[in-house]
C-alpha cells in the first residue's frame, strides 16, 4: 500500500541525513524537544528520533521539560535524556560536553508548549518539526505537519524507513528494539490502543513492522495503561464501589474526601482512571468524580458518552475542557454540598 506520508517522510529523511552529517563533522549536538506534561507519544517520538541521529553518527539528546514518569521507565531511555541545568542559555550551552547546534521538535511545534525549555528551543529560528497537530504554518520546508497521522511516532517511523531506503541500509540498523518499543508506545497512546478514529491502515501496518523489530506491544500496554500500584488499585476499587447513580442510571457520581486518600495512603492521581470507568458503565451518559485536595479545594472530573456537554457544565463551576471530557476546581465549598448541587443541576439535562 502506498502511504500518504511518503512525500513528507522522504523530505524529512533527506534533511535529517544532511543535518546528521553536519553534526558529525562539527561534533555538535542536536536537541529534540517534546512538549510539557509528557505523554507516550512525545517521549516515544523524541527518543526514537534522538536514537536515529545517534545511529547516523551524530550527538543527540532529548531535552526534557520534566522528570520522565515512572510508568515510562521500562522504555530504558535514560541515556538519551538531557535535563537542562539552570542558566543553560546564559552559559556555554554545552549538552554533556557537546555544543548545542540544532533544534528539533516532535508532537508540538511551538516553544510555549515546552514549558521552561521553550526558550532553548526558540534560540534557533530554523528549527525542524515533526507534528500531527493542526497548525497554520504548513509550508515551512523545515516542518513536516501531517494532521492525518495517528501520532508523531507513526510519522517518525516513516521518516526512519525513508532514511534506511535513501542510505540503502536495513531498517534494523537504524531502528533497534528499544527504538521500536518507543514508537509503539506513542502509537498505542495516541490511538487508545488502536480504537480511536485516527487509527488508519498505515497505523496497523506500522505497528506490524515495529513488532517485527522487537516492539513489544504487550509490555508497552501493560506498563503504560494496565499496571497499577497496590495503593492505586485499592483506592480506585473503593471509589468505584462507592459510586452513586441517579436519573435512571444516566448519571454516575463518586466523591473522594481527603480522609479516604489518607486511609489508603494514596495520592490524588491514584484515582485518575475512575471517571472513565464510570462513564463506560452501560446506560451511564454522564460521569463525575469529585476529589477533595489537601488544601481543601474540590476538583471535579467530568466525562460523557455521546450527548452531555461536559465543557459547558464545567464552565458553571469555573472550569472547562472538551465536550466529552472536562474538569473544574472550586474553593470554599463542602464536597457533599457540591455533590448535591451537581446532581440537581445535571438532572435537568439527563
CB of 257 to Mn ion, least distance (A): 35
Q: Closest separation between CB of residue 216 and Mn ion, Å?
A: 20
Pinpoint the alpha helices (H) of 2-39.
6-26
Contacts for 1 with CB less than 8 Å, ≥ 6 apart:
201, 202, 205
Residue whose beta carbon is closest to Mn ion:
41
- Residue 105 vs 301, nearer CB to Mn ion: 105
Cβ 151 to Mn ion shortest distance, Å: 5
Minimal distance in Å, beta carbon 135 to Mn ion?
13
Instruction: Show the CA angle centred on residue 111, arms to residues 26 and 29, nearest 5°.
Output: 15
Nearest distance from C-beta of residue 133 to Mn ion, angstroms: 7
Q: How far is the CB of 65 from Mn ion (least distance, A)?
A: 15
Q: Identify the CA nearest to 144 among candidates 3, 10, 1, 34.
A: 10
Residues that bind Mn ion (CB under 5 A): 41, 107, 151-152, 190
| Choice between 108 and 127, CB closer to Mn ion | 108
Our CB check for Mn ion shows the closer of 59 and 150 to be 150
Alpha carbon distances (Å) from 200 to 152, 197, 207, 210:
14, 8, 11, 15
Q: Comparing C-alpha atoms, which of 223, 151, 238 is closest to residue 190? A: 151
The nearer residue to Mn ion, 114 or 152, going by C-beta atoms, is: 152
Q: By three-state DSSP, how is residue 279 classified?
A: helix
Cα 228 to Cα 70, 223, 239, 288, 302, distances in angstroms: 11, 9, 15, 21, 22
Nearer to Mn ion, 221 or 343 (CB): 221
Q: Sheet of 325-330: strands edge to edge?
A: 244-246, 251-256, 286-292, 298-304, 325-330, 320-321
**Nearer Cβ to Mn ion, position 146 or 190?**
190
Amino acid at each position: 500500500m502506498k502511504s500518504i506520508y511518503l512525500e513528507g517522510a522522504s523530505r524529512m529523511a533527506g534533511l535529517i541525513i544532511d543535518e546528521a552529517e553536519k553534526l558529525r563533522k562539527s561534533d555538535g549536538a542536536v536537541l529534540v524537544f517534546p512538549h510539557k506534561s509528557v505523554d507516550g507519544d512525545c517521549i516515544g517520538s523524541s527518543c526514537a528520533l534522538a536514537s536515529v541521529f545517534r545511529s547516523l553518527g551524530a550527538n543527540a539528546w532529548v531535552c526534557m521539560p520534566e522528570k520522565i514518569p515512572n510508568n515510562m521507565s521500562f522504555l530504558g531511555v535514560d541515556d538519551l535524556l538531557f535535563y537542562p541545568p539552570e542558566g543553560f542559555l546564559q552559559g556555554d550551552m554545552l549538552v554533556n560536553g557537546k555544543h548545542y547546534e540544532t533544534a528539533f521538535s516532535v508532537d508540538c511545534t511551538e516553544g510555549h508548549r515546552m514549558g521552561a525549555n521553550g526558550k532553548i528551543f526558540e534560540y534557533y529560528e530554523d528549527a525542524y518539526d515533526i507534528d500531527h497537530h493542526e497548525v497554520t504554518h504548513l509550508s515551512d520546508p523545515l516542518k513536516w505537519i501531517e494532521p492525518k497521522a495517528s501520532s508523531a511516532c507513526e510519522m517518525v517511523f516513516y521518516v526512519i524507513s525513508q532514511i534506511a531506503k535513501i542510505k540503502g541500509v536495513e531498517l534494523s540498523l537504524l531502528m533497534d528494539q528499544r527504538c521500536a518499543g518507543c514508537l509503539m508506545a506513542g502509537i498505542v497512546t495516541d490511538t487508545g490502543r488502536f480504537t480511536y478514529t485516527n487509527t488508519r491502515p498505515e497505523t496497523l501496518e506500522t505497528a506490524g513492522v515495529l513488532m517485527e523489530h522487537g516492539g513489544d506491544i504487550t509490555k508497552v500496554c501493560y506498563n503504560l495503561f494496565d499496571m497499577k500500584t497496590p495503593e492505586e488499585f485499592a483506592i480506585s476499587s473503593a471509589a468505584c464501589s462507592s459510586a452513586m447513580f441517579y436519573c435512571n442510571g444516566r448519571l454516575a457520581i463518586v466523591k473522594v474526601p481527603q480522609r479516604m486518600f489518607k486511609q489508603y495512603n494514596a495520592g490524588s492521581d491514584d484515582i485518575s482512571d475512575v471517571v472513565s470507568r464510570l462513564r463506560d458503565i452501560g446506560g451511564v451518559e454522564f460521569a463525575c468524580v469529585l476529589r477533595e485536595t489537601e488544601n481543601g479545594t474540590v476538583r471535579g472530573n467530568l466525562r460523557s458518552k455521546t450527548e452531555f456537554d461536559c465543557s459547558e457544565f464545567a464552565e458553571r463551576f469555573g472550569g472547562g475542557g472538551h465536550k466529552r471530557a472536562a474538569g473544574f476546581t472550586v474553593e470554599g465549598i463542602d464536597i457533599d454540598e457540591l455533590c448535591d448541587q451537581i446532581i440537581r443541576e445535571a438532572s435537568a439535562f439527563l
